[in-house]
């Protein structure tokens, strides 16, 4: 498999996180008590790590300073499976330090704010680009994307290699011919001043700025990211594609990097820009819901493995535990989702701080319900469930029961509808083994997928 190559400015991000229950006696500032320190790749480094999480080989071409921060950052990238091509820099490796109180940032400290000069384009960098399935340019305004050698190498790429350019106000303009450019709303407004009049939800303005930037940057498409409101994709004179985001409460730090990394990965697999942007919006929403960078760090600690969907579930569980929350899980086939399901899921979510649905795979449903089931395939069932506001993650399993996936996730509570009793739940003993509890929650009488199927058959036969 050909790699995704990320070219850009890598940073070292640190979080100092603690609780704050009082103010300083000499200033209206919180006292952050006993902070713990965690470090992770930032900037282009975070984009590379998130792309590697997608399962594709990733090479990061960047310029690190010859200092302790650069050495630490190189080690963090290696631990996460990212191959590094370091051009070297005359300046310091930049560090961003966030101080968090109760999970909320109160101040940020930046070190190495004066960019150095990146080293010359190297044979190793040229070799990485020559083997790329796609290239993501993650510009953080530190100078690497303005380097003549870097820009010449990007312009020389064959047209078949898609380039995604994530711009920065202090960085250089994208090279002509980029398949997709991904400014956020503020960056788009700054790059196209005076363009676009306000319209419903601002969409007319975003569209006008997107069209202006298409011409200015000579790009194939421009996706203006709107944070919690999703993204607007503009391509030529076609109507814009508006991709809404699902509501996701969490730390948005790095969501733009997640969006760009997933979009580049999908384009490298041959997806259309519309498909890539749609998948990228969904992935960024999951990343935020899972706790942002804290969820990523927690997931590193527990490992991702498991069945399809387990990445999201493990990240959500880890992030919930990191903030002291209660993890709730439920399980089922959820073939033909109905009001009874929704009532049960809402009740289960109310028991804690996240809800993970353990979903029977198609093969599992066939063994349990017969060869003519499921009616709705597992990917569609998972997408419908994930679209509910009360569901935080979905983990698909192939066994007849969710015992194996529950053992991996170890929720605090396992909930089922009250058509069961707690004594009938085979999951009860497993939950008790780590101090968890199996419970039943209310459900609506007379609602079932099997009854819906029978009613459809009956009406069709009349």
| Catalytic residue list | 257
Q: In terms of Cα–Cα distance, which of 231, 144, 228, 135 is closest to 182?
A: 231
Quote the radius of gyration of the chain (alpha carbons, Å).
Answer: 24
- What is the Cα–Cα distance from 331 to 286, expressed in whole angstroms? 20
Q: Which two tokens stand for residue 228?
A: 């919690």
- CB count within 10 Å of CB 220 equals 17
Query: Rounded to an integer, what distance in angstroms lies between the CA atom of residue 166 and that of residue 140?
Result: 9
3 vs 370: CA distance, rounded Å: 42
Positive or negative, the CA dihedral 127, 129, 133, 137 is positive
> Where do we find the tokens 């640190």?
14
| 231-234 and 104-111 strand pairing | unpaired
Closest CA to 358 of 324, 296, 316: 316
C-alpha 151/C-alpha 218 separation (Å) is 15
- Report the 10 Å Cβ neighbour count for 140: 25
Which letter does DSSP use for residue 183 in this model?
-
Helix %, strand %, coil % of the chain (to 5): 40, 25, 40
CA 265, CA 441: separation in Å to the nearest integer?
41
Written as six digits, the tokens of 55 are 């399962």
Could you give the strand order of the β-sheet that contains 33-43, starting from the edge strand earlier in sequence?
Answer: 33-43, 10-19, 95-101, 104-111
Return d(Cα 157, Cα 379) in angstroms, integer. Answer: 36
Mode of pairing for the β-strands spanning 134-138 and 104-111: unpaired
Half-sphere exposure (Cβ direction) of 172: Cα atoms closer than 13 Å:
17
Dihedral angle of Cα 353, 357, 358, 363, to the nearest 10 degrees: -170
Nearest to 62 by CA among 51, 46, 50: 46
């Amino acid at each position: 498999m050909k790699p995704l190559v990320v070219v850009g400015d890598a940073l070292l991000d640190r979080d100092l996180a603690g609780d704050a229950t009082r103010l300083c006696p000499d200033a209206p500032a919180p006292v952050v008590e006993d902070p713990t320190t965690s470090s992770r790749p930032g900037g282009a480094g975070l984009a590379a790590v998130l792309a590697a999480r997608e399962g594709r080989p990733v090479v990061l071409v960047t310029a690190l300073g010859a200092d302790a921060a650069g050495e630490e950052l190189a080690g963090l990238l290696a631990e996460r499976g990212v191959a590094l091509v370091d051009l070297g820099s005359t300046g310091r490796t930049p560090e961003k330090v966030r101080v968090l109180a109760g999970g909320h940032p109160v101040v940020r400290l930046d070190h190495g704010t004066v960019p150095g000069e990146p080293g010359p384009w190297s044979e190793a960098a040229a070799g990485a680009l020559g083997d790329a399935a796609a290239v993501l340019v993650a510009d953080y305004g530190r100078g690497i994307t303005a380097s003549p050698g870097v820009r010449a190498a990007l312009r020389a790429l064959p047209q078949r290699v898609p380039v995604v350019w994530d711009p920065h106000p202090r960085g250089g303009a994208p090279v002509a011919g980029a398949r997709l450019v991904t400014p956020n709303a503020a960056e788009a407004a700054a790059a196209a001043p005076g363009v676009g009049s306000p319209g419903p939800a601002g969409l007319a303005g975003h569209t006008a700025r997107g069209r202006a930037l298409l011409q200015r940057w000579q790009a194939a498409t421009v996706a203006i990211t709107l944070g919690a409101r999703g993204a607007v994709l503009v391509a030529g004179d076609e109507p814009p594609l508006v991709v809404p985001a699902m509501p996701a409460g969490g730390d948005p730090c790095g969501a733009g990097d997640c969006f760009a990394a997933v979009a580049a990965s999908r384009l490298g697999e041959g997806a259309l820009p519309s498909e890539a942007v749609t998948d990228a919006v969904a992935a960024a929403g999951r990343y935020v819901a899972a706790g942002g960078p804290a969820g990523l760090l927690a997931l590193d600690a527990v490992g991702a493995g498991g069945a399809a969907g387990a990445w999201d579930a493990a990240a959500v569980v880890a992030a919930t535990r990191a903030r002291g929350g209660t993890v709730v899980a439920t399980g089922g086939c959820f073939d033909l989702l109905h009001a009874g399901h929704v009532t049960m899921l809402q009740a289960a979510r109310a028991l804690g701080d996240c809800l993970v649905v353990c979903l029977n795979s198609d093969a599992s449903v066939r063994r349990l319900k017969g060869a003519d089931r499921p009616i709705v395939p597992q990917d569609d069932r998972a997408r419908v469930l994930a679209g509910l506001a009360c569901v935080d993650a979905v983990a698909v399993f192939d066994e007849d029961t969710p015992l194996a996936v529950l053992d991996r996730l170890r929720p605090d509570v396992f909930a089922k509808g009250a058509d069961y009793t707690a004594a009938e739940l085979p999951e009860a003993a497993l939950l008790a083994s780590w101090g968890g509890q199996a419970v039943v929650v209310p459900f609506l009488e007379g609602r079932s997928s099997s009854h819906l199927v029978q009613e459809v058959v009956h009406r069709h036969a009349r």
